[in-house]
Structure 1
């Protein structure tokens, strides 16, 4: 690996802030202004004083209007140009060769000539430096520096964005030298200001040229044994042979979470051109996360910038070159048959920039082509809500689609037996892409005995007008006549009757929460359902009786009630859920103690396939195995020695002594049941403590504690979940996560890979009606009442994880339910807040 001890190679030769073309007036003849001796000394003194005052004022005005206003800011622009009358020479790879220097001088001279064609640029231009050359004929990569008056940055940015027009103007100049470079594809953009900060103490530059069948690695300095250097800018210029492209595969990315501080940026270029950036990364990515990028040509640039604090291990990536026509890098073609699949290049990894593919699909005569995108991830920063798709998109059957779309909702059917699908990616920012399937269907009846959504998706007719967006485009919920057992919302939607008066606006227009016999206008409802005037909220008096009118009032100390958070010094806070939120609210700091919990070390990302949890996403999840029998229940880590699970998991079952510690093995850090790798720790148990009041018939008090035979050492894959305070509020409608290896369907087999599902906490009164009066005050309901998402057999004892800020709290323990994922039948969980005293008594947590 070649090491270069410099970063940006160009250093301005002058630090003057003024325009050197300004001419100063010659000095006047001073003798003309010599004062003659006057008769009155007082008059002379008066004139002198007056002149001094005028001079002072003039000086101040000159300073104010000339120098003070002439504040200039440094602007850096990066760009590239294709030199068509030159042939690439291997010496151009090395910046120290004479060939490189001679061509670089020609490029910088010509850039100066190009900028001279623009009044906005010529006045402020400082200089340029060539950073690299690559094949095709010869591509030059450069940096240009300007000193721009404050407030003029936008006009200079605009002029630089039109640099290709300036180059064309320069090309048509009659006085142009005969040996000038013939330029095409001249482009430029403002350099990311974070890349030329004056605070950088270290600049490092590396170069790599891969070869066929050769694997090289690039990594941040010090990786993996020491943190990367602070206040540093680093860049890796990567090259492949002509006819090849670069494949960059990260096996580790571990940086500070905030990209404003430390980040890695990847460019489809040899210089940091912002409209050639492929991706920006920070935080910690799981090794199971696919992070593989392909270049569009034979060059790529990786940059890394760090600030002065919180430095991490950094990154390591594998660099190889693959043929441009390889299967991973190509797409499109003819697709024939009754059904089949196709995907964007490199899926489920990132597709390359500047790519265009076209598939022509043909099914048997007399049929139509139905295309359904199972995954669709074509998102770009800042364009998440874009409708006209100006960047990356898929065009099929007259539809132009981009962004991130729900699974299976992008679909259409042709009226003939052929369809053309086009995929286009521009030069900047890439994404995972898509995978799609096509099938031959009856054009007259593409959804036999089913309902056809507006987006061509087929669903069961029973799912129409039931309050659930099963189509994904709401077409199954439009033009409905609501059934007698449904709520008719004013906006025309139908919602299940059991959602009426549950405290959540399910209609979207408040219809289901009106006429509930609740509080009048101008009143608030207390937690105990009492109504008090809104004016009494936060007035310093406990008008509700339970103190709920004085919660979240911005006051630090309040009288203690069952709803207020109590600090260790026995003072109470009005703030709801203050623990581990990053702000010290208790004077003794006790609300921020023991907060190394509830966080995955890995950056959360979209799951490309199914509802598999990412590796390390829920590091407090435990798999409980009966020895020699496999997975039986789940559990949650709450400390190095203690787990929380369900009491019904540890009840003796015939000859199976589930109440005895020696029956069990606990697997911590496990992701796939079939792969007990090096990240997994297997522990035996020392003690099992079921709740003494557990009722095997009602499942009331369904909670148990397990003590490990020795403390576990935390890792990226093994961490505790945050324990909520007794007063922690988990409101109805709040989204929470269920996880486990349980059966993926009722009566089915257990999952191999840890599954996750996002569900919603359901109002206790509503849930009690649904579950026919079986819900106690120590139970919590959560689910998606449409069915299809729920915990199931084998998930018992596992966590119901509730996000709060950047952490997860243990809201519940998987307890029981009526079947699995049945419509209108939520999962029932043991409410952890009800047992905080009992848990602390036995575990100290």
Structure 2
């Protein structure tokens, strides 16, 4: 609300202690395309098979069992999986796991072996399409602690989020004034927030605090990181036609240490449009009641969460006294659940079918807080996806 208060898996492949095993990753997939071909040459026996796409939908998968005896018992099993059937999939991988008996994993010299996942990382694969460049044991949009939302939780009115349930949540804090706006961690180096959060304030004085839960108590999970660079799109509070660009990218002065309490959220497909009624979640430390004046502050000390339905843009445009045709909207017709002052810049996030959470909107503005027939307006991350990706590529250290 207007006031200051994406994993590089690449293509993965495992090499076992046999003469040869290799994969041929492809750049795009449809439901019946080949994910890749695994060729295993074993002493006295050649086995050649291929991984094909699984059931229709966004997920593709396949499996190849390789045997070393005439009984057909598998010596190891190789599985291929991709969460999206296109070249932007940052999570496609091949992984081999022991079958009948354990064996030793080795990697070709150009691949990195991760003993915890037992995978070999091809680090340069798909890099132009992926936001983050994390180690292969990190993933986006998967909290270590699950939220317990039941549909009645809200930020206005107050309902505490379980600590660690939204590990990409960022509190933008001033050393003197404290929390001002929210943000979302999309990689260890980058945070997405709202551009209006930085009007009339020196962003160089702010810290991006990750791992935060209570603003008044430290629990040892917090990381306060200075901001090295602020990049905004074409936005001005004085020009309503630019409000759809109320987004900012913050490059951190040092990478966040990723762990169970700090992890990035996924980014959606460019142009994604969720149907009306899709339930998503907004979180923040903002006001728990609508303020009646500048001094009426009722911010939450602990992170709050709210479940809100997506509202069709055309219907939202009729309900709000602003042009929101380039934004996304969310809120209940009866009101009572909404983001509020201090929640600006925070994430509107939705859960994909595979359980990963993705950033669908950035909390931007609204008419009051939690009023009936008055949904909140959020910057559309799908509409800004290309700008986000290009900006990160242009401003990342080489």
Instruction: Report if TM-score (shorter chain) is over 0.5.
Output: yes
Which secondary structure state, in structure 1, belongs to the residue aligned with residue 389 of structure 2? helix
Q: Which residue of 1 aligns with 2:338?
A: 790
Aligned equivalents of 2:91 and 2:374: distance in 1? 37
Of the three residues 132, 141, 146, the one matched with 1:598 is 141
Please list every run of 5 or more consecutive structure 2 residues that lacks an aligned counterpart in the other structure.
Answer: 1-29, 35-55, 62-80, 93-129, 131-137, 292-296
Return the alpha-carbon distance in structure 2 between the equivalents of residues 707 and 671 of structure 1.
22
What is the CA distance between 1:773 and its match in structure 2? 5.0
Contact 2:58 2:84 in 1 (8 A): no
Render the CA deviation track for 1:205-232: whole Å, top value 9, x for unaligned. xxxxxxxxxxxxxxxxxxxxxxxxxxxx
Task: Give distance in 2, aligned partners of 1:729 and 1:598.
Answer: 19
> Whole-Å Cα distance in 2 between the matches of residues 682 and 579 of structure 1?
39
The 8 Å contact of residues 183 and 191 in structure 2, kept in 1 or not, is answered as yes
Shift of 1:665: 1.1
Total equivalences in the alignment: 271
8 A contact 1:801–1:808 mirrored in 2 = yes
User: 2:289 and 2:60 mapped to 1: Cα distance?
Assistant: 37
Q: Kindly indicate whether residue 262 of structure 2 is the aligned counterpart of residue 718 of structure 1.
A: yes
- Residues 794/587 of structure 1: CA separation in 2 closer, same or farther (3 Å cut): closer
Q: CA deviation at 1:579?
A: 10
Rounded to whole Å, the distance in 1 between the matches of 2:300 and 2:187 is 26
Alignment pair present for 1:663 and 2:211: no
In the TM superposition, what are the counterparts of 1:95-106 in structure 2 within 5 Å? Answer: none
Q: Which residue of 2 aligns with 1:629?
A: 177
Partner of residue 89, structure 1: none
Corresponding position of 1:391 = none
Query: Quick one: distance in 2 between partners of 1:753 and 1:839?
Result: 29
Task: Note the alpha carbon deviations across 1:49-89, whole angstroms, 9 max, x for none.
Answer: xxxxxxxxxxxxxxxxxxxxxxxxxxxxxxxxxxxxxxxxx
SS at match of 2:368: coil
Alignment RMSD, CA only? 3.0
Structure 2 residue 379 is the aligned partner of structure 1 residue 837? no
| Inter-partner Cα distance in structure 2 for 1:838 and 1:606 | 32
Q: Secondary structure at the match of 1:715?
A: coil
Superposition deviation, residue 775 in structure 1: 1.1
Say if 1:577 and 1:690 are closer, same or farther in 2 by CA, change over 3 A: farther
Out of 725, 736, 748, the residue aligned to residue 280 of structure 2 is: 736
After superposition, give the CA deviation of every residue in 1:785-811 in whole Å (9 maximum; x if it has no partner).
211100000000000011113111000
The 1:823/1:650 distance shift into structure 2, 3 A limit, reads same
TM-score (norm 2): 0.62
- Give the C-alpha shift of residue 692 in structure 1: 2.6
Q: Secondary structure at the match of 2:215?
A: coil
- For 1:695 and 1:733, the matched residues in 2 are separated by 30
Residue 647 of structure 1 pairs with residue 195 of structure 2: yes
Inter-partner Cα distance in structure 1 for 2:300 and 2:84? 42
Structure 2 vs 1, CA of residues 556 and 776 (structure 1 numbering), >3 Å: closer, same or farther? farther
Instruction: Structure 1: give runs of 5+ residues left out of the alignment.
Output: 1-552, 558-574, 653-657
**1:729 Cα deviation from its structure 2 partner:** 3.6
The higher radius of gyration belongs to 1
- Kindly indicate whether the alpha-carbon contact (under 8 Å) linking 2:244 and 2:380 is maintained by their aligned counterparts in 1: no
| Mapped partners of 2:343, 2:333: distance in 1 | 18
- Distance in 2, Cα, partners of 1:762 & 1:589: 28
The offset of 1:841, in angstroms, is: 1.4
1:676 equivalenced with 2:225 (yes/no): no
Structure possessing the higher relative contact order (Cα contacts under 8 Å, 6 or more residues apart): 2
In the TM superposition, residue 725 of structure 1 has moved relative to its aligned partner by: 1.8
Deviation at residue 736 of structure 1 after TM alignment = 0.2
Mapped pair 1:707 → 2:251: yes
TM-superposed deviation, 1:763? 0.7
Q: How does 1:362-761 map to 2 (within 5 A)?
A: 583=82, 586=85, 590=89, 592=91, 596-605=139-148, 611-652=159-200, 658=201, 660-698=202-240, 699-747=243-291, 748-761=297-310
State how far apart, in whole Å, the 2-side matches of 1:673 and 1:638 are: 22
> Residue 819 of structure 1: which of 344, 351, 368 is its match?
368
**Distance in structure 2 (CA, Å) of the matches to 1:556 and 1:731:** 28
Q: Give 1:627 shift.
A: 2.3
Cα offset for 1:835? 1.2
Task: Tell whether the 8 Å contact from 2:328 to 2:361 is kept in structure 1 after alignment.
Answer: yes
- Residues in 2 aligned to 1:839 and 1:718: alpha-carbon distance in whole angstroms: 21
Q: Please tell me whether the aligned partners of residues 147 and 161 of structure 2 are also in contact (alpha carbons under 8 angstroms).
A: no
Which has the larger helix fraction? Answer: 1
Q: Alpha carbons of 1:751 and 1:773: their partners in 2 closer, same or farther (altered >3 Å)?
A: closer
